[in-house]
Amino acid sequence: MTFNNQKLYGYIRVSTREQNEDRQLVAMKKFGVPSENIFIDKQSGKDFKRPAYIELLEKLKPTDTLVVKSIDRLGRNFYEILEQWRLITVEKQAYIVVLDMPLLDTRYQKDDLTSQLISTLVLQLLSYVAQIERDFIHQRQAEGIAAAKAKGIRFGRSTKDKPDNYEEVFNEWRKEKISAREAGRRLQVDYKTFLKWTRNK
Protein backbone atom coordinates (compact mmCIF):
# COMPACT_ATOMS: atom_id res chain seq x y z
CA MET A 1 0.00 0.00 0.00
CA THR A 2 1.25 3.50 -0.80
CA PHE A 3 -0.01 7.02 -0.29
CA ASN A 4 0.60 9.62 -3.01
CA ASN A 5 2.72 6.96 -4.78
CA GLN A 6 5.17 6.97 -1.89
CA LYS A 7 6.14 4.29 0.62
CA LEU A 8 4.34 3.29 3.78
CA TYR A 9 6.54 2.42 6.78
CA GLY A 10 5.78 1.14 10.26
CA TYR A 11 7.80 1.51 13.46
CA ILE A 12 7.43 -0.79 16.47
CA ARG A 13 9.21 -0.57 19.80
CA VAL A 14 8.93 -2.80 22.84
CA SER A 15 10.75 -1.71 25.96
CA THR A 16 12.51 -4.98 26.73
CA ARG A 17 13.42 -8.16 24.89
CA GLU A 18 10.86 -10.04 26.98
CA GLN A 19 7.91 -8.02 25.69
CA ASN A 20 5.96 -9.20 22.67
CA GLU A 21 5.53 -6.98 19.61
CA ASP A 22 2.63 -9.01 18.15
CA ARG A 23 -0.09 -6.50 19.07
CA GLN A 24 1.69 -3.66 17.28
CA LEU A 25 2.61 -5.92 14.38
CA VAL A 26 -0.99 -7.01 13.81
CA ALA A 27 -2.15 -3.39 13.81
CA MET A 28 0.53 -2.43 11.27
CA LYS A 29 -0.38 -5.22 8.86
CA LYS A 30 -4.11 -4.50 9.25
CA PHE A 31 -3.41 -0.89 8.22
CA GLY A 32 -1.58 -2.17 5.17
CA VAL A 33 2.09 -1.66 6.02
CA PRO A 34 4.19 -4.17 4.02
CA SER A 35 6.11 -6.59 6.25
CA GLU A 36 9.42 -5.58 4.68
CA ASN A 37 8.76 -1.95 5.65
CA ILE A 38 8.17 -2.60 9.35
CA PHE A 39 11.09 -1.69 11.62
CA ILE A 40 11.27 -3.14 15.13
CA ASP A 41 13.42 -2.16 18.12
CA LYS A 42 13.40 -4.48 21.12
CA GLN A 43 15.08 -2.31 23.72
CA SER A 44 14.46 0.50 26.14
CA GLY A 45 13.30 3.90 24.96
CA LYS A 46 15.70 5.60 27.35
CA ASP A 47 17.51 7.12 24.38
CA PHE A 48 17.32 7.23 20.60
CA LYS A 49 20.33 5.02 19.93
CA ARG A 50 17.99 2.51 18.33
CA PRO A 51 19.31 0.82 15.18
CA ALA A 52 15.94 0.11 13.53
CA TYR A 53 14.67 3.62 14.19
CA ILE A 54 17.84 5.20 12.82
CA GLU A 55 17.68 3.01 9.71
CA LEU A 56 14.03 3.95 9.22
CA LEU A 57 14.78 7.68 9.41
CA GLU A 58 17.46 7.26 6.75
CA LYS A 59 14.96 5.61 4.40
CA LEU A 60 12.12 8.06 5.04
CA LYS A 61 11.59 10.39 2.06
CA PRO A 62 9.23 13.37 1.49
CA THR A 63 5.56 12.29 1.32
CA ASP A 64 6.35 8.82 2.69
CA THR A 65 4.11 7.82 5.60
CA LEU A 66 5.28 6.55 9.00
CA VAL A 67 2.77 4.52 11.01
CA VAL A 68 3.06 3.99 14.78
CA LYS A 69 0.61 2.26 17.12
CA SER A 70 0.77 4.94 19.81
CA ILE A 71 2.45 8.29 20.26
CA ASP A 72 4.84 7.10 23.00
CA ARG A 73 6.64 4.87 20.47
CA LEU A 74 8.35 8.05 19.23
CA GLY A 75 9.94 9.13 22.51
CA ARG A 76 10.28 8.75 26.25
CA ASN A 77 8.93 12.15 27.25
CA PHE A 78 7.02 15.23 26.13
CA TYR A 79 9.98 17.01 24.54
CA GLU A 80 11.39 13.99 22.70
CA ILE A 81 8.02 13.10 21.18
CA LEU A 82 7.55 16.65 19.91
CA GLU A 83 11.11 16.76 18.57
CA GLN A 84 10.72 13.48 16.66
CA TRP A 85 7.38 14.67 15.31
CA ARG A 86 9.02 17.88 14.06
CA LEU A 87 11.94 15.94 12.58
CA ILE A 88 9.66 13.64 10.61
CA THR A 89 6.99 16.11 9.48
CA VAL A 90 9.12 19.23 8.97
CA GLU A 91 12.69 18.14 8.18
CA LYS A 92 11.84 14.85 6.47
CA GLN A 93 8.54 16.25 5.11
CA ALA A 94 6.95 12.85 5.66
CA TYR A 95 3.52 12.05 7.06
CA ILE A 96 2.70 10.38 10.39
CA VAL A 97 -0.27 8.20 11.27
CA VAL A 98 -0.92 7.26 14.93
CA LEU A 99 -3.24 4.27 14.91
CA ASP A 100 -4.53 4.75 18.46
CA MET A 101 -5.48 8.37 17.73
CA PRO A 102 -7.06 8.96 14.28
CA LEU A 103 -6.84 12.75 14.76
CA LEU A 104 -3.06 12.40 14.52
CA ASP A 105 -2.97 11.67 10.80
CA THR A 106 -0.99 14.36 8.99
CA ARG A 107 -1.67 13.05 5.47
CA TYR A 108 -4.81 15.15 5.11
CA GLN A 109 -3.78 18.30 6.97
CA LYS A 110 -1.55 20.06 4.46
CA ASP A 111 -4.09 22.77 3.52
CA ASP A 112 -6.49 22.44 6.44
CA LEU A 113 -5.53 24.93 9.17
CA THR A 114 -8.27 23.74 11.52
CA SER A 115 -7.11 20.14 11.27
CA GLN A 116 -3.51 21.23 11.79
CA LEU A 117 -4.48 23.16 14.93
CA ILE A 118 -6.47 20.26 16.36
CA SER A 119 -3.67 17.81 15.55
CA THR A 120 -1.08 20.04 17.22
CA LEU A 121 -3.16 20.41 20.39
CA VAL A 122 -3.91 16.68 20.56
CA LEU A 123 -0.23 15.84 19.98
CA GLN A 124 0.95 18.09 22.79
CA LEU A 125 -1.73 16.80 25.16
CA LEU A 126 -0.97 13.12 24.45
CA SER A 127 2.78 13.71 24.69
CA TYR A 128 2.28 15.35 28.08
CA VAL A 129 0.06 12.49 29.27
CA ALA A 130 2.63 9.92 28.10
CA GLN A 131 5.36 11.59 30.14
CA ILE A 132 3.15 11.95 33.23
CA GLU A 133 2.19 8.27 33.01
CA ARG A 134 5.85 7.25 32.72
CA ASP A 135 6.75 9.43 35.73
CA PHE A 136 3.93 7.89 37.77
CA ILE A 137 5.09 4.37 36.90
CA HIS A 138 8.64 5.14 38.04
CA GLN A 139 7.34 6.76 41.22
CA ARG A 140 5.12 3.76 42.04
CA GLN A 141 8.01 1.37 41.39
CA ALA A 142 10.31 3.33 43.70
CA GLU A 143 7.66 3.50 46.42
CA GLY A 144 6.94 -0.22 46.08
CA ILE A 145 10.61 -1.15 46.38
CA ALA A 146 11.07 1.13 49.39
CA ALA A 147 8.02 -0.36 51.13
CA ALA A 148 9.19 -3.92 50.42
CA LYS A 149 12.68 -3.19 51.76
CA ALA A 150 11.14 -1.70 54.90
CA LYS A 151 9.38 -5.04 55.43
CA GLY A 152 12.68 -6.87 55.09
CA ILE A 153 12.02 -8.25 51.62
CA ARG A 154 15.26 -8.92 49.78
CA PHE A 155 15.63 -8.28 46.05
CA GLY A 156 17.74 -10.14 43.57
CA ARG A 157 18.14 -13.84 42.94
CA SER A 158 17.47 -16.03 45.95
CA THR A 159 20.15 -18.40 47.22
CA LYS A 160 19.55 -21.90 45.94
CA ASP A 161 19.22 -24.53 48.69
CA LYS A 162 21.83 -27.26 48.72
CA PRO A 163 20.49 -30.75 47.95
CA ASP A 164 20.53 -33.43 50.64
CA ASN A 165 23.44 -35.24 48.97
CA TYR A 166 25.62 -32.12 48.85
CA GLU A 167 28.06 -33.21 51.61
CA GLU A 168 28.60 -36.58 49.99
CA VAL A 169 29.28 -35.05 46.57
CA PHE A 170 31.40 -32.29 48.07
CA ASN A 171 33.65 -34.79 49.84
CA GLU A 172 34.19 -36.76 46.61
CA TRP A 173 35.07 -33.54 44.77
CA ARG A 174 37.44 -32.45 47.57
CA LYS A 175 39.24 -35.79 47.32
CA GLU A 176 39.48 -35.16 43.55
CA LYS A 177 37.43 -38.26 42.76
CA ILE A 178 35.04 -36.23 40.58
CA SER A 179 35.18 -32.95 38.70
CA ALA A 180 33.18 -29.83 39.50
CA ARG A 181 31.07 -30.46 36.41
CA GLU A 182 30.29 -34.00 37.56
CA ALA A 183 29.47 -32.67 41.03
CA GLY A 184 27.08 -30.16 39.49
CA ARG A 185 25.47 -32.88 37.39
CA ARG A 186 24.88 -35.08 40.44
CA LEU A 187 23.44 -32.14 42.38
CA GLN A 188 21.38 -31.03 39.36
CA VAL A 189 22.84 -27.53 39.39
CA ASP A 190 25.29 -25.64 37.23
CA TYR A 191 28.90 -26.41 38.15
CA LYS A 192 29.44 -22.68 38.83
CA THR A 193 26.76 -22.86 41.50
CA PHE A 194 28.51 -25.84 43.04
CA LEU A 195 31.85 -23.99 43.09
CA LYS A 196 30.14 -21.01 44.70
CA TRP A 197 28.82 -23.31 47.42
CA THR A 198 32.29 -24.68 48.06
CA ARG A 199 33.68 -21.18 48.59
CA ASN A 200 30.95 -20.37 51.09
CA LYS A 201 31.36 -23.60 53.05
Catalytic residue among 15, 44, 70, 115: 15
**Phi, psi torsion values for 43, nearest 5 degrees:** -160, 175
- pLDDT at 115 > cutoff 70: no
DSSP-derived secondary structure letter, 160 = P
Give me Rg for the CA atoms of the chain.
26
Name the residue among 128, 57, 62, 132 with its Cα closest to residue 90: 62
- The answer to whether 15 is a known catalytic residue is yes
User: For residues 15 and 195, what is the distance between their CA atoms, to the nearest angstrom?
Assistant: 35
Considering the entire predicted model, what is its pTM?
Answer: 0.57
**pLDDT tens track for 34-89:** 999 999 998 765 556 688 999 999 999 999 999 999 888 888 777 788 888 888 98
